[in-house]
Amino acid sequence: MEQFEDLQAWDLMVESRQYRASGARGLNLRNVADFAFLDLLSLFILHNEYETAPIAAKYADSTMSYRNFAKARLSGTDLYVSMNILSDPTSVFSSKIAQNADADAILRGKLKVNLPTVKRYLDMLADGSITKDDAATLFLRLEKQLNITDSKLRSIRRLVQDWPGLNTMQRELATTKMLQYYKKFAKRSEMSVFLSDLAKGKGFEMRGGIDAELANLGYTGHSAKDKDDHDKHDHSWSKIASDLMPAAGFYAGYKLAKR
């Protein structure tokens, strides 16, 4: 089933939430590069929070399960699909995003994606060995390799790389900026769901409900009662982390069981 270039309605089968169905057509190559960079930053935030560290490790491990980004795989995470598009202009996924031949050609010439850099980062997340200094070095490299020119994304990177040392106001600022970007360019992003729930649970930002698709799959996020009740809040986060496991048909190859 991985050889699906000629498969009709292939996008209905893609497990990646962002690239499923019409999601890919809402992104151009510039968006994909920015989106991938934001996902990489989000993973570091999740890694540094006790409640979501297991999620970051499992997501990184799933993204790296094939050890490269050479094929357009149906079971790939959002990040896997993004890296496949960025590293292979002939990929079937690349053909599904919004096309702008002139702009794409210019950007392709500027992209210097070094896949070993991405792999090293994801491997360190998967085994929990990454440090703040590691992240600062790798983020700067990735920013250059992905030709990130958006000043907002650069300012987010400077905040996120120092996440363990940020105060609450700085964390609020970082998550607010990131969630605003996800809402504008990547509404169906897998990572935005995790980051949004973390922000609500920690009081960093985000108000509003979980989308219907996630609710139907049993993912309820945090209620106001959870936020007021510290014990229940801790238990719910532990339950989310422990119940996150591989499963076909749900974004990123995982499912979040009903709490």
pLDDT tens digits, one per residue of 203-246: 886 455 555 544 543 445 543 334 444 444 444 444 444 444 33
What's the sign of the alpha-carbon dihedral 115, 3, 36, 250? Answer: negative
In the chain, what are the domain boundaries? 10-191+203-208
- The string of pLDDT tens digits covering residues 124-157 is 999 999 999 999 999 999 999 999 999 999 999 9
Alpha-carbon distance of 107 to 86, in angstroms, equals 10
- Calculate the alpha carbon distances from 34 to 58, 232, 237 in Å: 22, 36, 29
State the burial class of residue 165 (Cβ atoms within 10 Å of its Cβ: 0-12, 13-18, 19+). Answer: exposed
Q: What is the DSSP letter of 245?
A: E
Provide the token pair at 248.
């076909």
The letter for the amino acid at 257 is: A
pTM to 2 decimal places: 0.76
Percent over 70 (pLDDT), the chain: 71
